[in-house]
Structure 1
Amino acid sequence: MVNKKEQNQKKMTPREYIRYKVRSLPIGDCYMSNDWKYVGEAMIMVTRIHPQGTYTLGFYVVDTYCLGVKDSSFHFSIDKFQYEEMLNDIKSLMMKVSYEEVHNLVYGAVAFAEEGGIQPDESFKLTQYILEEDTDEVPLIEYDFGRDGKHFLCANDRIELSKYAPVLKKTVGDDFFYLLPGMKEAKPGSEYMDLSFVDNMMSALEKMKKCSELPEEAYSFVHPEYPAELNVKHKWLAEMLYSPEKSVYLTDDDLSRILALPHDELRDDLENIVLYETGQTYSGISEEQWNGEYKSVILHCMLLLGELGDEASLPTVLLTLCQNADYYDYHFGDSLSDVYVPTLYMIGKNRPGDFMAYMKMPGLYPYARIRVTETVAMIALKEPERRDEVIGWFRELLMFYDGRLEKCECCDGVLIGMMTNDLMNLKAVELLPELKKLYDTGLVDEMCCGNFKTVVKEIKGDKEPLLHEYSFDIHERYRKLKRLLKD
């Protein structure tokens, strides 16, 4: 009668037996290829002997230069005749060695490979059990691995090279060698170029080309009549703001003098300067102006209007955001966000309807529009209790652009791509369905925030957004802009 223990053993598959039982069997003869020290690769066979006289064999292909266990396999419980046939096949290529030699070569090569970030072949997860566990009970034999102690990757082809060389680069830097068939001598890791990097670069160039070919909204804003003459109550104010010496900076004393004026009078003068100066430059910037001394009078006015914080100035400020690209390059350079976003927030945070009306105007410059969406996002970031209001604002805008993006009406792919960054900063997972409709058109500029899959990952992820740090104190704003404009 078969007992329960024997029944359970019989039910075991060969893989299960190897994993759970084979180490209880005695080790038989072990063999290793003769020339492994010269070629850097060893063929190894380890035998386990079953009580009934059958044999389980483990075979290992071990790269001692770099990769450790490249491959392994097993034959489970073969009879004596099969075993002797196998020995006849290998005896001219392999020599009998002690188990300790085999054990140290295999585990030493695995450890050396892991120093380079390379794991054993997947098959070793099972075949390792035909070997003894790597403990101090197995006497230590030291072998030399690599070439001069460094990883030496002898790749069969470029596919294998591109699989392992980037891993070595990541873990040991350039401190390795590699060799391909046909190469006269090995090359140092510093000469390896990651082919996947080249592929990624080509992919990025293709994406850039595709994005550069996306249709853009044509600039078509119809300008109002601007004042032909400058009219201000406080002439010294205009003289100060137009002064070349004050072109990029107002001192604390200057600001104190200006802000001591009655605020309604100061606001009127600042807005009159803005409208007059816009009238002088809206149709184009002359070569003389480009080459002349920089005058940031409109920049001064935007900062001062923000400091006053009067909602009545919002129409004038939004009018300056209806201009062409040259206008912004000439008046603001790279400081467009730092000038507009805090100012728009301070005078318009309670006027989201005005912001919406502006975003629905046709024919505007996308890099001006984006200052408004960034400002609206800032409302939720600075006033979390208003998040639902801000999400609703963006939902209305996204739904408005659905069907208009294809016609570049009030928006284009650049604007949607840049606005996506605001939604990522807000972690606006609620707006993904509306945003997906726009991305599905294939017309969104993916150079801004990546493809939709990347956007979803960022919005749903736990990583904190990297927010641009804005100053709201006018003294600090000037100090920051002075550094920015001087650079």
Structure 2
Amino acid sequence: MQPEQEQEILNLRDRQLTPKQIARKLGLKASEVSTFLQSHAEQTALASAEKGELLPVAQCLVDVNFAKVLLGNETSETSGLGLVVVTRSKGYNRFVAASYLIDYWCLGVKDVIPPRNCNDSQYKNFVQLSYSQFMQEYEEISVEQAQALVWGAIAYAKTLGFEPHRDFEQSKAHLGESTSEIGLKFGRNGKPCYIEGPHDNTRKIINTLKNSVGEGNFDYLFGMG
């Protein structure tokens, strides 16, 4: 395959054409196009790893309600939970995906599914399962927005005395540090609001809030678990 053909393949791929569509346009076999794309993606990922760089971002998702509240400055009385999924490309049809469950009213990063390897079909199943509790309503966002949502929630929770879920430590490198200047407002109606979960140490959380912001300066709701 000539260098000119390789570059044209990459150009067409950037336009979201499938290997079969690219092959028809260039008079090549679909298998040749797929093989080249896989090799190029693997070489790119390897070069990034050797430089200590993160894998390229494939897709970032967030549930629609979380996006409206924090990115659209709308209000929500239904839930203080949101889910961010960050997916990076490990090569052609190979991904590494992780999810971050955010309590943006109080606790910050409440749960994490650490980075996992998957192919295209496995990734689609991962996304559908992840957002099933959000009625599978989600939208794509930039990695900068995803980072701002997660790190912003962590920073807010720390002011209240809460650390992120223990699995965040092995997932923060995958997320990447936030460099965004996006202004986000956490909490509910200007103050923390704790909603009890099924696995929470409720007494410890309430005592932490009393110590950090003072009794009467936060809201809470029990029995939701």
Deviation, 1:46, is 0.3
Instruction: Look up the equivalent residue of 2:145 and give its one-letter code.
Output: E
Q: TM-score, normalised by structure 2?
A: 0.64
Q: Which residue of 2 aligns with 1:179?
A: 221
Q: Which residue of 2 aligns with 1:49?
A: 89
Structure 2: runs of 5+ lacking an equivalent: 1-49, 70-75
CA deviations on 1:239-294 (whole Å, 9 max, x unpaired) are xxxxxxxxxxxxxxxxxxxxxxxxxxxxxxxxxxxxxxxxxxxxxxxxxxxxxxxx
Partner of residue 57 from structure 2, selected from 27, 40, 44: 27
Q: Is the 8 A contact 1:56 1:74 kept in 2?
A: no
Deviation, 1:77, is 2.2
Q: Is the 8 A contact 1:31 1:97 kept in 2?
A: yes
Partner of residue 61 from structure 1, selected from 98, 101, 123: 101
Q: Which residue of 2 aligns with 1:122?
A: 166
CA deviations on 1:274-318 (whole Å, 9 max, x unpaired) are xxxxxxxxxxxxxxxxxxxxxxxxxxxxxxxxxxxxxxxxxxxxx
Instruction: Look up the equivalent residue of 1:123 and give its one-letter code.
Output: D
For the structure 1 residues 153 and 116, does the alpha-carbon distance in structure 2 shift closer, same or farther, using more than 3 Å as the test?
Answer: same
Q: Which residue of 1 aligns with 2:150?
A: 106
Bigger Rg, structure 1 or 2: 1
Deviation, 1:180, is 1.1
Q: TM-score, normalised by structure 1?
A: 0.31
Across the aligned residues of Structure 1 and Structure 2, the Cα RMSD in angstroms comes to 2.5
Structure 1: runs of 5+ lacking an equivalent: 1-19, 183-487
Partner of residue 82 from structure 1, selected from 107, 117, 122: 122
Q: Percent identity among equivalent residues?
A: 28
Q: Which residue of 1 aligns with 2:6?
A: none
Q: Which residue of 2 aligns with 1:392?
A: none
**Aligned 1:187-266 pairs, distance under 5 A:** none
Identify the structure with the greater strand proportion. 2
Which fold has the larger relative contact order, with Cα–Cα distance below 8 Å and residues 6 or more apart in sequence?
Answer: 2
Q: Which residue of 2 aligns with 1:293?
A: none
Counterpart-to-counterpart distance in 2, 1:49 and 1:85? 16
Partner of residue 203 from structure 2, selected from 159, 162, 165: 162
Instruction: Look up the equivalent residue of 1:122 and give its one-letter code.
Output: R
Counterpart-to-counterpart distance in 1, 2:204 and 2:52? 33
Instruction: Look up the equivalent residue of 2:158 and give its one-letter code.
Output: E
Instruction: Look up the equivalent residue of 2:221 and give its one-letter code.
Output: L
Deviation, 1:94, is 1.6
Q: Which residue of 2 aligns with 1:94?
A: 138
Q: Is the partner of 1:78 in helix, strand or coil?
A: strand
Deviation, 1:65, is 0.1
Counterpart-to-counterpart distance in 2, 1:44 and 1:120? 14
Deviation, 1:52, is 5.1
CA deviations on 1:202-224 (whole Å, 9 max, x unpaired) are xxxxxxxxxxxxxxxxxxxxxxx
Instruction: Look up the equivalent residue of 2:150 and give its one-letter code.
Output: V
Question: How many residue pairs are counted as aligned between the two chains?
Answer: 160
Instruction: Look up the equivalent residue of 1:180 and give its one-letter code.
Output: F
Partner of residue 187 from structure 2, selected from 142, 146, 149: 146
Partner of residue 112 from structure 2, selected from 72, 90, 93: 72
Counterpart-to-counterpart distance in 1, 2:174 and 2:146? 12
Instruction: Look up the equivalent residue of 2:58 and give its one-letter code.
Output: G
Q: Is the partner of 1:150 in helix, strand or coil?
A: coil
CA deviations on 1:443-468 (whole Å, 9 max, x unpaired) are xxxxxxxxxxxxxxxxxxxxxxxxxx
